[in-house]
Structure 1
Amino acid sequence: MSLHPSLQTSADAWTHSVEAIAELVQPLVEGEWNRPTPCPYWSVRDIVSHVIGVDCEMLGDPRPIHTLPRDLYHVKTEAQRYQEIQVDVRRHHTGPEMVSELEYTIIRRSRQLRNENRAPDTIVRGPRGIDETLDYAMRRRAFDIWVHEQDLRTALNKPGNLDSPGAYVTRDMLLDVLPKIVAKDAQAPANSAIVIDVHGPVEFLRTVRVDAEGRGSVDGSPSLGPLVSLSTDWETFVRLACGRVSPAAVADRIKSEGDQDLAAAILRSFVVTL
């Protein structure tokens, strides 16, 4: 047996992004590893440490035994603490050490994926230390690593891959949460429709519909009378959703029509991951 066909898209997206990351960081000199990135509080080194650490956990490696310093004031929740351990344990590693560990981890993880024969609905320990299906864990991993590839590209001024396989996994992951953002978090009224129009390397138009009971759903059919229409480019859409920018910082890149209070509430609720 080999990788289930429904998992191949996630595996291909992970491979494309992780190889791009390896190519980006291989030539870096020591000072460049400390550059800040759009990912709050993390440097280039920190993001690569996170990439290595999560894939080591996907491989089943034991977590490092490590105590976080008390002055990491951005670490406020248990979920953040869980993620930060793999990052902080590598904060004093040199550039060559980082590249070597990244490349070795890619080899091991690629071999694991080639030999993966579990069903998509198998329950595994996912990238966040939470039990979830193998399918979701792999989609989440592809999404996460593509976003971090973009963080590194921004920090290193090496734009690219905005329409790579990982971008489409990311699109689908973000579309999955739009109904909750609009209906529950932003409290859009019952029997309303909100149109999201995204242009650029990845284009789509979706309508989020809130039914009479306040439940949200999303589809590709246009609405003739939306309560709100939001239009932006793909890169801005992703950066907003991933907490890399605030709505105010990119207001000139967002076109909003209709109920402006609701539009503002949707944009405030739009951060789905960090």
Structure 2
Amino acid sequence: MPMHPAAPEDLSGLVDAYTQTAQALVDLAFPCSDPDFDKPTECPGWTVKDQISHIVSAEAALMGRPDPQVDVPDYPHLGTTLNRAIENGVELRRSCPGREVVEELQTVVARRLGQLKDLRDNEPEDLDEVTVDMPMGPKPLLEALRLRVNDLWCHEQDIRAALGRPGNLDSLAAATFCQTVMDALPMIVVKRAGVPTGRVVMVELTGPVVARTGVRVEEGEDGSPHGSLMFTGGVDETGPIPVIGKTTSIQMSTEAFTRRAAGRRATSDLHYSVHGDDEVARRVLDGLVITP
């Protein structure tokens, strides 16, 4: 079953996805009051203003304007070196008024949109060889842009949840995030959830992004379990799905799926339905997180 809307794969589509979610962030931030800026979000340790500060910092760095380094306290939510590095831009702006950070966001987003649209209009012939310096190291351009779309949309949803303004769950960026998680399902099912050979795990999103995928766990050449995505056009796509008792199907909304994949909600806090092994479903959802 194809995803609807489909996740963009080319430069033009990813620029469109970026544009939509970046503009949504500006639209959400602009009318915020001081109490709004101070509202906690589902991203541990961050307020609405902190979310905006992070986006400003990340996008400015990609334009070649990294923030100066400041001392970052040992906050409880800083569990990794990467998280501490990301916190620098947030800490730098903690004493700044929210309106000031929003103005910075508007400026940075406008420049980034101009940069990306120029890149789209003058797409390099050697696109596959173009790389972008990211916090986790150099990445091919399309992969880097996909990562930025995912990050922007994830934080857009953090802000929406905090402000009580749901939306954009059927956008190109939402589909990009969902596709990224589904592409990671073989690893999640086998490595994290430990689903044994001979089993199948199906995941169905009921909307607004609608999709269905599955992972068939087979024995690899080295004898260890190997996960294969189903419904991808591969030669095994029409192969039989194991009988009842060996298939676990998980149904959930786009919002529940993506909030769990972002690490914002615990499995116990999700609304989902299962046909099959409840314990397998729980282990898969426990391992679903793809964010650092």
Settle same-fold status: TM greater than 0.5. Answer: yes
SS in 2 for 1:239: helix
- Residue deviations 1:19-75, cap 9 Å, x none? 1111111111122101011112110011001111111111121332211123x1221
Is 1:267–2:285 an aligned residue pair?
A: yes
- Residue deviations 1:212-259, cap 9 Å, x none? 121112122583535211111111011111111111112xx2112222
Give the aligned length.
266
1:52/1:107 CA distance change after superposition, 3 Å: same
Query: How far, CA to CA, are the matches of 2:48 and 2:190 in structure 1?
Result: 36
SS in 2 for 1:115: helix
SS in 2 for 1:215: strand
Q: Which residue of 2 aligns with 1:241?
A: 261
Q: Which residue of 2 aligns with 1:46?
A: 50
Query: How far, CA to CA, are the matches of 1:114 and 1:238 in structure 2?
Result: 27
Is 1:168–2:180 an aligned residue pair?
A: no
Q: Which residue of 2 aligns with 1:229?
A: 249
- Residue deviations 1:159-195, cap 9 Å, x none? 1111011111111111111110001111111132111
CA RMSD, aligned part only? 1.7
Q: Which residue of 2 aligns with 1:136?
A: 143
Is 1:157–2:164 an aligned residue pair?
A: yes
Q: CA contact under 8 A between 1:50 and 1:87: conserved in structure 2?
A: yes
Is 1:196–2:203 an aligned residue pair?
A: yes
SS in 2 for 1:240: helix
1:171/1:121 CA distance change after superposition, 3 Å: farther
Query: How far, CA to CA, are the matches of 1:120 and 1:88 in structure 2?
Result: 35
Structure 2 counterparts to residues 1-274 of structure 1, below 5 A = 6-70=10-74, 72-116=75-119, 117-118=123-124, 119-126=127-134, 128-213=135-220, 214-220=225-231, 223=241, 225=243, 226-250=246-270, 253-273=271-291
Amino acid at match of 2:290: V
Amino acid at match of 1:162: L
Q: CA contact under 8 A between 1:6 and 1:120: conserved in structure 2?
A: no
Q: CA contact under 8 A between 2:199 and 2:242: conserved in structure 1?
A: no
Q: TM-score, normalised by structure 2?
A: 0.86
Amino acid at match of 2:229: V
Which 5+ residue runs of structure 2 have no aligned equivalent? 1-8, 232-236
1:212/1:224 CA distance change after superposition, 3 Å: closer
SS in 2 for 1:211: strand
SS in 2 for 1:125: strand
Query: How far, CA to CA, are the matches of 1:51 and 1:190 in structure 2?
Result: 42
1:47/1:120 CA distance change after superposition, 3 Å: farther
Query: How far, CA to CA, are the matches of 1:108 and 1:120 in structure 2?
Result: 24
